[in-house]
Structure 1
Amino acid sequence: MVRLPLTPAEVERGQRLGAVLRRARGERSMLGTALDAGISPETLRKIESGRVATPAFPTVAAIADVLGLSLDVVWAEISRPGAGAGGDARLAS
């Protein structure tokens, strides 16, 4: 299977996802968050930094659950047109 290159919109959405998760994690440790979500700290680091722009849905769902984030809120934040990675996300669950 050949993986197609990501579009600029997909890359930007991945950066926004990383920013939302990073802000929601706050002072909580990356290690603890990753282990609670059942993923490696390296995977969480790559998602938060935008290096993994299209993580699997179960991975995003597990991280959101650990952080107490609604998937609806996560989707709304990463789908906003023109929203930058450093934007002011409302992270109410």
Structure 2
Amino acid sequence: MKPGTRLKSAACSTEVVVIKATEKAIECGGVPMAENASGDGSPNAAFAGGSVMGKRYVDADGTVELLCVKPGAGSLALEGVPLVLKEAKPLPASD
């Protein structure tokens, strides 16, 4: 997988664009994402936290970064480990 790849969830309507890639499996709703998934399933209850359009999701190590371009009911994970929202960088003080 390379940056710029668009992935779709098989468990919900979530779609993401890969910003920073890894070879590990990216999941949504507890199901692996793919470029040609249909999105007509239902998310696993443990991974049904939802995804927010326009937000970036990262793992704790910073090895993967995803941009959500279409929201859905499933939450994003990297091989079963939930991804978290990337925090915005604080602006410098203008004192």
| TM-score for both structures, normalised by structure 2 | 0.25
Between structures 1 and 2, the one with greater helix share: 1
| Higher-Rg member (1/2) | 2
Between structures 1 and 2, the one with greater strand share: 2
